[in-house]
Amino acid sequence: MLAVRSLPRVASAATGQPAISFGVQTRNMATLKEISVRLKSVSNIAKITKSMKMIASTKVTKAQRVMETARVYGNSATALYQHTGTSTNEESGKPLVVVVSSDRGLCGGIHSSLSKTTRKYLSAHPEAALAILGQKAKAQLQRDSRQQIVVTFDSVAKNLPTWTEAALIADEILKTGIEFETANIIYNKFKSVIAFDTVIVPVHSYKALLESPKLSAYEVEDPVLKNYEEFTLANTVFWGIAEGNASEMAAKRTAMENATKNAGEMIQKLTLTYNRSRQATITNELIDIITGAMAV
């Protein structure tokens, strides 16, 4: 036994290298432990992402039902602009931009798309006022457009979008006293479970409605037009929130599906690496035992 313990310090006469090296065995064991810990961590992440995908799939169905209802009312409310020939004249007044995002993440680049479209619009209209729904767009836009932000809203559509919530948001925007010729609602329009478009829907002011060339065809009194302006703003905000919520849930479902798939591929690679390292460790141990036995 004394000869075996002294073998690591004895060099071979032919090669000048140690006859037995226990350092390789130590490194392999440490590597196996690291791979095992990482494999367990990735497996836990895969379980979480799979659960989040299932939850998002359920929420997509509910969000689509709300979105279909909001889309019908939104299209009907804004159709009057086409029939009356109401046009946008942003040069004569200060435009208002309402960005519809949320506080939730893990849904791909859905919020970045909103911020990119908003920055592009603000670069062409630097005098525009900015109202932001949701923390995600606020965090991205306040870096270079802090002075233009007038009002922000948190915890929007925490469960499902409601008309009451949209009406309160529109009321708070109007209470700020912003005078605008057109309010541009920027939101993500739901196209399919895997696709969305970032669109801008204008909401014209009471003054723009009065100046519409074909408004005389409708027997509408001035107080009714004023109420219609407020209603259309609230209705379009609700439309944007509903469309954005459906797009967000669909994007989250896709993101979690991709994450689960990537985690599965990583688990396979780590399992293969672990098995190979374990086999190499066992082989080295057998070589050490046989070499030691032969030396004795």
End-to-end Cα distance, the chain: 8
What strands, in cross-sheet order, belong to the sheet with 149-153?
A: 149-153, 129-133, 96-100, 182-192, 195-204
Q: Look at residue 80 in the predicted model and tell me its pLDDT.
A: 82
* pLDDT of residue 240 exceeding 80: yes
The structure tokens 């509408």 sit at 220
Of the pLDDT bands very low, low, confident and very high (cuts 50, 70, 90), residue 158 is confident
Token pair recorded at residue 128 = 């525009």
- pLDDT confidence of residue 19: 43
Does the structure show a pLDDT above 90 at 130?
A: yes
Q: What phi and psi values does residue 49 have, to the nearest 5 degrees?
A: -65, -35
Neighbours of 266 (CB within 10 A): 16
Cβ(113)–Cβ(145) below 8 Å: no
What mean pLDDT is reported for the chain?
83
Residue with the two structure tokens 């939850």: 55
225-236 pLDDT, tens digit per residue, is 888 888 999 999
What residues form DSSP beta bridges with 202? Answer: 184
> Range with the lowest mean pLDDT among 16-25, 160-169, 276-285?
16-25
| 9-37 exposure pattern, b = at least 16 Cβ within 10 A, e = fewer | eeeeeeeeeebbeeeeeeebeebbeebee
User: What topology is assigned to 49-255 in CATH?
Assistant: Pyruvate Kinase; Chain: A, domain 1 (3.40.1380)
Window from 49-63, 82-96, 223-237 with minimum mean pLDDT: 82-96
**Would you say residue 289 has pLDDT above 70?**
yes
Q: What does the pLDDT look like over 107-128, one tens digit per residue?
A: 878 889 999 999 999 998 888 8
Give backbone dihedrals phi and psi of 88, rounded to 5 degrees, phi first: -90, 125
Greater confidence (92 vs 269) lies with: 269
* C-alpha to C-alpha distance for 57 and 54, rounded to whole angstroms: 5
Ordered by start, the domain boundaries in the chain are 49-255
Query: Per this entry, what is the length of the chain?
Result: 296
With 80 as the cut, is the pLDDT of residue 33 above it?
yes
Inter-axis angle of helices 222-295 and 163-175, to 10 degrees?
Answer: 110
Q: Please give the pLDDT value at position 190.
A: 93
pLDDT of residue 6: 37
Say what the pLDDT of residue 256 is. 92
Candidates 284, 200, 201, 187; CA nearest to 243 is: 187
For β-strands 96-100 and 182-192, DSSP reports them as parallel
pLDDT digits (tens, 9 = 90+) for 132-143: 999 999 989 988
Buried (b) or exposed (e) across 223-239, using 16+ Cβ within 10 A? Answer: eebeebbbebbbbbbbb
Return the DSSP state at 22: S
Helix or strand (DSSP H, E) at 36: helix 23-84
Nearest to 255, CA basis, from 53, 66, 64, 9: 53
